[in-house]
Chains A and B, each alone.
Chain A
């Protein structure tokens, strides 16, 4: 008689379905297939797909590579901490270190040019959150994630850490310039 009593039909899988249910299931299934096609199709036709290129890394290994780029392409330093601002050539490998509680170095990219951005963390999980563009990527220690990016607007952006990483999490914010 009701959902809290055993069904009157002994074999529940033989219970007929109403037309309203059949229609809705068909509509819902088609919609699910469209969503599936969107996700796959965007990999073919879309321009915003997160790369899966990943390498295992160690903090000193990654730091050495980041240092080499900083030594080569630093154009100026900013803030009292003298954080280097790196202006790498188009198509090059760019390294961004996440650690408690800072991003290092500051990057200066050019609009419409493509870069290979390498991300890792030296300690805990961190979150790369580019604002106000609103691009969010998880940064996991031990893994070097290579993301190919092509900025499509010029301006001053901020890199906010959006994965909780301890007491000074809220001070972990840096800049990223696009010329």
Chain B
């Protein structure tokens, strides 16, 4: 069973890479970046069409481009990268060989074939059904088939990850519990298995409907189960990018989790409650009872919100504690001022964390509140929200991690480090602005997935307020700035891999080196002030809470002015 493999110890990070796992990580990461590139090119079409003054593409092309942009970004880019992260969190962090590398290659092949099949179906033109593909609107059979193949591949990848954990345990490559980052990856993987199964339950009958075997899939049942897939897939991202934040805090600062119990407990809340939050997509739907909506989105979803609020404190808190131990103890914020803002690995991660919490988190709770959903449902507020979670949160964290992986995994010196320094700021901050103005336009009612806000060709066109046009123009400008930031990322990544100076491999051995047991560390309470290990982080958390509370009640105030409805 034991195939011949080698383990190399990276001289720059001390991480140990198994050769099979390393090749698979590289393949998955490269495929991810290719789909990010495709999705980014498509984004130009989306942004320049929704910018009212430009209104570039024709309606049919626009919807086609929007469908492909959504799927390439939300599914293909992110999940390919996540598979690489899963292999990294198991084989590399636990210093063991990857389970069944041949099957892992099969998973990769299925995902690639599926992604290409789906893309081809969309470009052929009869599958402009958006990512959600609500029945009874039908796409070509290849559209669903591509998604199913991709999902099967991703599911196999999840099981390879789980198998690798078993190998590490059996070979005793570590003692005690797995690292927190691996723990987070396990959570992501468990959510992924649930997600992909939901996807299969609904996409397989829909595929059979598209080829004429199944007569009908109920539209409301489709929406309910599709969202168990569509929303939960974003929870994989949350678990994955929060693991990456912890990893980057550890890499950039040697930060230790403040409390393993708290951080892991918060991850466990994700497994139990995050998927149920998918119910918030159905708050404006007929046929679902109030009790069902409230229980799922309020009672259950808030446990997931609680978990995110905990991570939002513990990650910067861990950084603060590490910085204070290094002597940056002046005032509340010296630790933050003296952070390595010029290192894109850190700056990307921190911009991601703040944006995810303030923009993505708060807006997500608004949409997930049963009554407030009525002023948000299907407006462009919704893409405003999920660009803050998925782009600022997930994509930017992946970008930050890439800057770490270029020398470590790809063994190349980064080309143009000056540009890399700038990239997280350009991309992250223009995305902040992009999300804000989108939410602004959504608050004025502007529809999402809409080709022409001027309603050309209609006898009863509605005239949006001038502010809505202004906001959508700003969406266009911010979008182009963010796309430029994305293009810089691709240039640096691809350029470094192709032309970057080769770095040495480090010592190779035929056997793994187990992780030495770590000595119990000093008690964190010996630093900080007011009995708090991380007073600065607590102050930031209070700012967050105040913003959250104010914005929450402003929305209720707005709601209370609407027509009476019961």
Contacts and interface: CB of A to CB of B under 8 A. Distances in A.
B375 to A, nearest CB: 5
A81 to B, nearest CB: 7
A7 B174 CA distance: 10
Contact of A35 (B181, B448, B458, B552): B552
Interface in B490-530: 515, 517-521, 524-525, 528
Given A19-B533, A134-B562, A6 B378 contact: no
Contacts of A54: 286-287
B455 A171 contact: yes
A3 interface: yes
A25 B262 contact: yes
A15 interface: yes
Contacts, number: 338
Nearest to B377: A136
B533 A50 contact: no
Contact of B518 (A1, A51, A147, A161): A1
A39 B371 contact: yes
A71 interface: no
B219 interface: yes
A35 B369 contact: yes
Contact of B134 (A51, A124, A150): A124
A86 interface: no
A173 interface: yes
B460 interface: yes
A8 B520 contact: yes
A134 B457 CA distance: 23
B532 interface: yes
Nearest to B454: A170
Interface string A10-23: 11111111111101
A137 interface: yes
B456 interface: yes
A174 B444 CA distance: 18
Interface in A43-83: 43, 46-52, 54, 78-81
Given A131-B445, A160-B447, A170-B456, A35 B298 contact: yes
A105 interface: no
Given A13-B261, A15-B260, A162 B545 contact: no
A170 B455 contact: yes
Interface stretch (B31-39, B309-317, B348-356, B469-477): B309-317
Nearest to B458: A171
A143 B541 contact: no
A31 B305 CA distance: 10
Interface residues of B, number: 120
B258 A21 contact: yes
Contacts of B297: 39
A8 B535 contact: no
Interface residues of A, number: 95
A7 B313 contact: no
A49 to B, nearest CB: 6
Contact of A2 (B254, B303, B374): B254
A132 B465 contact: yes
A1 B261 CA distance: 15
Interface string A131-153: 11111111011111101111111
B371 A48 contact: yes
Contacts of A29: 306
B564 A162 contact: no
B247 to A, nearest CB: 6
A177 B326 CA distance: 67
Contacts of A169: 59, 63, 449-451
Contact of A18 (B218, B249, B289, B524): B524
Contacts of A43: 290, 294
A13 B174 CA distance: 18
Contact of A136 (B247, B284, B449, B464): B284
Interface string B290-322: 100010011100110110011001100110000
Contact of A50 (B250, B259, B283): B283
Interface of A: 1-21, 23-25, 27-29, 31-33, 35-36, 38-40, 42-43, 46-52, 54, 78-81, 114, 119, 123-125, 127, 129-138, 140-145, 147-153, 158, 160-175
6 residue pairs, one from A and one from B, having the closest CB atoms:
A145-B286, A158-B462, A150-B564, A2-B250, A162-B447, A32-B302
Given A4-B246, A130-B563, 7 more contacts: A7-B177, A20-B528, A20-B532, A25-B306, A32-B306, A48-B560, A135-B565
